[in-house]
């Protein structure tokens, strides 16, 4: 399972996420669309460093398998 609690991310004075809460359970799917910060959110969940000021909590259980397809124009 993936649990995100009160995640806030700012780039300078620009907020990208403000108190985001999300729980994903076994066999559940989620889609992030448009220019909503999906790549940054996936990097945070994967534990990959990102720029900006991050607050909140992200917990990913050890048996979680995720797939990420980055589309480049």
Domain that holds residue 36: 2-60
Residue 67 falls inside a structural domain: no
Dihedral, CA of residue 30, residue 36, residue 42 and residue 45, to nearest 10: -90
First CA to last CA distance, the chain: 32
Spatial separation of the C-alpha atoms in residues 59 and 34, rounded to whole Å: 25
Asked if residue 34 is part of any domain, the answer here is yes
pLDDT tens digit sequence for 39-71: 888 888 888 877 778 899 999 998 887 776 766
Q: Model pTM greater than 0.85?
A: no
Q: Name the domain count of the chain.
A: 1
Q: Is residue 37 part of a domain?
A: yes
């Amino acid at each position: 399972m993936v649990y995100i609690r009160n995640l806030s991310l700012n780039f300078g004075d620009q907020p990208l996420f403000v108190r985001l809460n999300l729980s994903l359970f076994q066999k559940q799917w989620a889609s992030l669309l448009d220019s909503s910060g999906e790549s940054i959110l996936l990097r945070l969940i994967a534990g990959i460093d990102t720029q900006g000021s991050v607050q909140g909590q992200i917990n990913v259980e050890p048996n979680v398998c995720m797939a990420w397809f980055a589309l480049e124009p």
